[in-house]
Amino acid sequence: MSWFNSLEILDQKITILLNGSHVTFIDSIMWAVSKPIFGFPFYILFIYLFFKNYNAKSAFTIILLMGLTVGLGDFIAHELVKETIQRYRPSHNLEISHQLNFVNNYKGGQFGFVSNHATNMTIVGLLTFLFLKKTYPKSWIYLVIFVLTISYSRIYLGVHYLSDIFGGWILGIILSLCSYRIFKNLIS
């Protein structure tokens, strides 16, 4: 058995385990966490902190750069990676989809590798930390919880495998570090 087949089997088992722990109350929470509106209060807080800790020009540059990086991450994750690899989401995988629970009958798009949610939230979380680490060195704890919660919601809802999430995290980290380097070069 190849390592890819072993990964696929492990991914399926983890997804069935995490997705199978459905409780109506938790279903509602995971559904809400997975929605874009969930992040809105956090984004407002991050923007406030950027303006509090940087001059207006730098804060606007940070926000613009972060927005462009998220847009690039979203494009790469969906258009380049998902459409090239075309790995079915658990919800569209005929081998296991009948074993999964779907909140509000949500199944996502056809392909899942890599997770756009994981990519984008990693970018937001990591860049926020990098830009605020001097003032708030322990903020990484809250930002990791933020990223992990949203990422977990995607597995819980049955629309991503753990490896989809890991792939999104890796892509998000790479893009964040490149973006941060660009910002440092712009202001130096």
**Burial (Cβ within 10 Å: 0-12, 13-18, ≥19) of residue 170:** middle
CA dihedral (69, 117, 110, 31) positive or negative: negative
pLDDT in tens, 103-125: 888 898 899 999 999 999 999 99
pTM over cut 0.75: yes
Q: What is the rounded distance in angstroms from the CA atom of residue 181 to the CA atom of residue 175?
A: 10
Would you say residue 9 has pLDDT above 90?
no
Which pLDDT value is given to residue 24? Answer: 83
- Strand partners of residue 88: 111
| pLDDT at residue 149 greater than cutoff 80 | yes
